[in-house]
């Protein structure tokens, strides 16, 4: 390979890296079309699963942050077709397993049933080598959706609109929240 082609490829690579965050932000900006196309029971199920992972306590939970909508939009716009299908197949299998175990949908189970079901689901291995299990993928999406939402970044985390200097003697205790530069 000559230097000209090498420089062209490096330029293309660097340009792609510079544009990727902007394209991702555009893809995640308007979720209304992908959420409207999703079945309502899927949104309900994802909201209940997200709320089980991050429940409402002294801060709002995942439902209040619309994490279910975020998950649907992120899966529809950011995952390739095979990964999207694998995620939804995992969601359907999880719902079927819950109905088989408790005789009802995950969405109507009580908190103890949801927690015990998630404990079992967490132990299941990934369907494909090199891919996360459904539960791992769900947890990653829930955490990402919640902590990048306005509610998660400003109420669950400690929001600092203008990060300041280092405070060497800052008191940190059990009540100290993690920091976020979001919003």
Q: Quick: pLDDT tens for 86-138.
A: 999 999 999 999 999 999 999 999 999 999 999 999 888 877 767 788 999 99
Structural domain includes residue 132: yes
Instruction: Please compute the mean of the pLDDT values over residues 147-163 and round it to a whole number.
Output: 81
SS (H, E, C) 103-118: CCCHHHCCHHHHHHHH
Cβ–Cβ under 8 Å, residues 43 and 50: no
Q: Identify the pLDDT of residue 183.
A: 42
Q: Indicate whether 182 belongs to any domain.
A: no
pLDDT greater than 80 at residue 9:
no
> Does residue 1 form part of some domain?
no
**Average pLDDT over the chain, rounded to whole?**
82
Domain hosting residue 148, numbered range: 27-156
Q: Which residue has the tokens 């000209």?
A: 4
């Amino acid at each position: 390979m000559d230097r000209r082609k090498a420089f062209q490829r490096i330029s293309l690579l660097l340009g792609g890296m510079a544009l990727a965050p902007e394209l991702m932000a555009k893809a995640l900006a308007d979720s209304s079309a992908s959420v409207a196309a999703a079945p309502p029971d899927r949104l309900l199920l994802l909201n209940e699963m997200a709320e089980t992972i991050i429940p409402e306590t002294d801060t709002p939970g995942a439902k209040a942050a619309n994490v279910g909508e975020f998950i649907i939009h992120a899966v529809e716009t950011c995952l390739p077709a095979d990964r999207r299908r694998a995620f939804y197949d995992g969601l359907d299998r999880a719902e079927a397993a819950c109905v088989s175990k408790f005789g009802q949908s995950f969405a109507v189970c009580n908190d103890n049933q949801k927690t015990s079901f998630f404990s079992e689901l967490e132990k299941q291995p990934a369907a494909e080598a090199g891919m996360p299990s459904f539960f791992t993928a769900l947890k990653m999406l829930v955490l990402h959706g919640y902590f990048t939402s306005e509610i998660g970044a400003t109420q669950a985390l400690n929001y600092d609109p203008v990060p300041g200097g280092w405070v060497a003697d800052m008191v940190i205790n059990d009540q100290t929240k993690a920091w976020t530069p979001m919003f």
